[in-house]
Amino acid sequence: MKELTAEDTSLLELVDRLLNKGVVLAGEATISVAGIDLIYLGLNVVLAAVETIEKTQERRAS
């Protein structure tokens, strides 16, 4: 069974807050920085964060 450690969970809870919580100032704010749509940016950060967790899990498994 794929389980999450306390560290994984803590990082994920933080990433969730950074990407999905906080005040949303839509309209006047450019939601893309350097032409990258925030949604994709979010996913990139998600993927990057998740990559770390998966690499750690691989290391643990071996």
Partner 1 sequence: MTGDLRYLYAVAGANARARVTDANLRGIEGGRVEAIVEGKLLGMTSVVPASDYEQEPLNARLQDLEWLAPRAASHQEVNGRLLDLTDAVIPLAFGAIYRDAEGVRELLRTRAEDFTDRLRAVEGRAEWIVSIERDGSGPPTGGAVGALDAEIAAAPPGRAFLLGKRRDEVIRDERRVRDAAVAEETWATIEAIAERVYREPLIDDPTAAAIARFSVLARRDREVELGDAVRRLGASGASDSYRVRLSGPWPAYRFGGLPSERIASG
Partner 2 sequence: MTLLAHAIAAAPPALVAPDGLRGRPLAWSEAGDLGLWATEWAPDLKLERPDALEHHRLVERICAAQPCLPVRFGTAFATSADARASLDKRAAALHEALGRVAGKSELALTLLWRGAAVPPATPSAAGPGRQYMEARRAEFAAREARRARAESMVETILAELATERQFVWHETCTSENVAVSLAVLVPTQLVHERKADLERVAAGFADVTAVLNGPWPPYTFARID
Q: Does 27 bind partner 2 (CB under 8 A)?
A: yes
> Residue 61 binds what, of partner 1, partner 2, none (CB under 5 to 8 Å, by partner type)?
none
Distances in Å between the Cα of 60 and the Cα atoms of 2, 13, 37 are 12, 21, 35
Q: How does 24-42 read in b/e, with b if 16+ C-beta sit within 10 Å? A: eeeeeeeeeeeeeeeeeee
User: Of the candidates 20, 29, 30, 35, which one interacts with partner 1 according to CB under 8 A?
Assistant: 20
**Contact set with partner 2 (CB under 8 A):** 1-4, 6, 9-10, 13-15, 17-25, 27-34, 36, 38, 41-42, 44-45, 48-49
